[in-house]
Amino acid sequence: MASDQSSLYGKRRTKTTKGPDISNSSNLAFTSQLSSLIAQDSNTGRGRARPSKTPKTDLFAKSNKGAEKRVASDLKDEGHTQVHKSSKGIGHVDDATLSRSKRKMDAKVRLYNDLKKGSHLAADSSDEDEEPSHKKARGEDYYSRLRRKEKEGLVDFDRKWVDEERKRDGSQDTSDDDEDDDNASQVSYEDEFGRSRRGTRKEAAIAARAKEEDQGRVTRERWQPARPENLIYGETIQAEAFNPEENVATQMAKLAARRDRSATPPEEVHYNADAEVRNRGTGFYSFSGDQEERKRQMEDLLMARQETEQQRQARIDRRTEWEEKTNHRRRELAELRSKRMTERLLKGLSNEGLLVSQPKT
Give the pLDDT confidence of 38-51 residue by residue, as tens digits: 877 655 555 565 66
Element (DSSP H or E) covering residue 197: strand 196-199
Report helix angle 95-117 to 140-152, nearest 10: 80
DSSP β-ladder status, 196-199 and 187-190: antiparallel
355 or 213: which leads in pLDDT? 213
DSSP symbol at 134: G
Give the pLDDT confidence of 214-269 residue by residue, as tens digits: 666 544 555 566 677 778 788 777 777 777 788 888 888 888 887 766 656 667 77
Give the pLDDT confidence of 292-327 residue by residue, as tens digits: 998 999 999 999 999 999 999 999 999 999 999 999
Question: 52: which residues sit within 8 A by CB, 6+ positions away?
Answer: none
pLDDT at 111: 80
CA distances from 7 to 11, 12, 16, 18, 249 (A): 5, 5, 14, 20, 139
Apex CA 138: angle with CA 133 and CA 142, to 5°? 115
pLDDT at 327: 95
β-bridge partners, 8:
11
The closest alpha carbon to 185, from 211, 204, 208, 207, belongs to 204
β-bridge partners, 199:
187
DSSP for 53-78, written as a single string: SSPPP-TT-SPPTTHHHHHHHHHS--
pLDDT at 132: 47
Helix spans in 118-215 (H): 119-124, 140-152, 157-169, 174-184, 201-214
Three-state SS at 187: strand
pLDDT at 341: 92
Report helix angle 95-117 to 157-169, nearest 10: 70
Residue 265: asked if its preceding bond is cis (omega within 30°), the reply is yes
Question: 155: which residues sit within 8 A by CB, 6+ positions away?
Answer: 115
How many Cα atoms are found within 13 Å in the side-chain-facing hemisphere of 249?
6
pLDDT at 300: 93
* Cα–Cα distance measured from residue 143 to residue 128, given in angstroms and rounded to the nearest whole number: 16
The closest alpha carbon to 287, from 279, 309, 306, belongs to 279
Residue 154 has pLDDT above 50, yes or no: yes
* The residue type at 14: T
Question: Are residues 150 and 157 in contact, defined by beta-carbon separation less than 8 angstroms?
Answer: yes
Question: Are residues 279 and 286 in contact, defined by beta-carbon separation less than 8 angstroms?
Answer: yes
Where in the chain are the domains?
A: 96-154, 186-220, 293-325
The closest alpha carbon to 120, from 143, 140, 151, 152, belongs to 143
- Using 50, 70 and 90 to split pLDDT, how confident is the model at 127? very low
Residue 30 has pLDDT above 60, yes or no: yes
Report helix angle 157-169 to 174-184, nearest 10: 120
Give the pLDDT confidence of 65-110 residue by residue, as tens digits: 677 777 777 776 555 566 666 666 666 778 888 888 888 888 888 8
Question: 147: which residues sit within 8 A by CB, 6+ positions away?
Answer: 120, 123, 124
Question: Are residues 197 and 156 in contact, defined by beta-carbon separation less than 8 angstroms?
Answer: no
